[in-house]
Amino acid sequence: MSVAKVGAVVLDCPDPHALAGFYAGVVGGTPEGEGDWVDLAVPGGPTLAFQRAEGHVPPRWPAADRSQQFHLDLTVEDLDAAEKEVLALGAKPLDAEDRSRTFRVYADPAGHPFCLCAC
């Protein structure tokens, strides 16, 4: 028996509403809330929450001095098509050059690393 269940995955960022909008464009859902905290109920997944963090310093991937701390793996059917969409939404490629792999690494607009992974 588990002690707990995942309620939300929370990402610190400078602008919670903007980052929630980015992820809504990637995984669906509608951002709810204003100000310092915005929730995104993800269809078929845990809630993503976005919390304002003044002075937010994004992780640097890969770098030991500014570790990524965690990242999201997002499963997609077509890596090329998904890449075009996340780039149009504001993602930045971090390690997406190797087209022979089954994953590509990007940063969201607040600098958090995430991977698009082929299913």
pLDDT of 15-50, one tens digit each? 999 999 999 999 999 999 989 999 999 988 889 999
Q: Which of 54, 81, 97 is the last residue of a domain?
A: 54
pTM surpassing 0.75?
yes
Query: Whole-angstrom distance between the N-terminal and C-terminal Cα of the chain?
Result: 29
Residues 69 and 83 in one domain: yes
**Number of domains composing the chain:** 2
* φ, ψ for residue 46, nearest 5 deg: -75, 160
Q: Do 36 and 94 share a domain, yes or no? A: no
Same-domain pairing of 11 and 32: yes
**Together in a domain, 61 and 107:** yes
Q: What is the pLDDT of residue 30?
A: 94
* Residues 66 and 110 occupy one common structural domain: yes
Per-residue pLDDT tens digits for 53-93: 998 888 887 777 777 667 788 889 999 999 999 999 999 99
Q: Are 38 and 75 found together in one domain?
A: no
- Which pLDDT score is estimated for 65? 77
Confidence of residue 99 (pLDDT cuts 50, 70, 90): confident
How open is the CA angle 35-38-41, to the nearest 5 degrees? 160
Q: Are residues 61 and 117 in the same domain?
A: yes
Please indicate, yes or no, whether residues 6 and 31 belong to a single structural domain of this protein. yes
| 46 and 62, same domain (yes or no) | no
Domain that holds residue 4: 1-54
CATH code for the domain in which residue 30 is found: 3.10.180.10
Other CB atoms within 10 Å distance of the CB of residue 66? 13
pLDDT of residue 34: 85
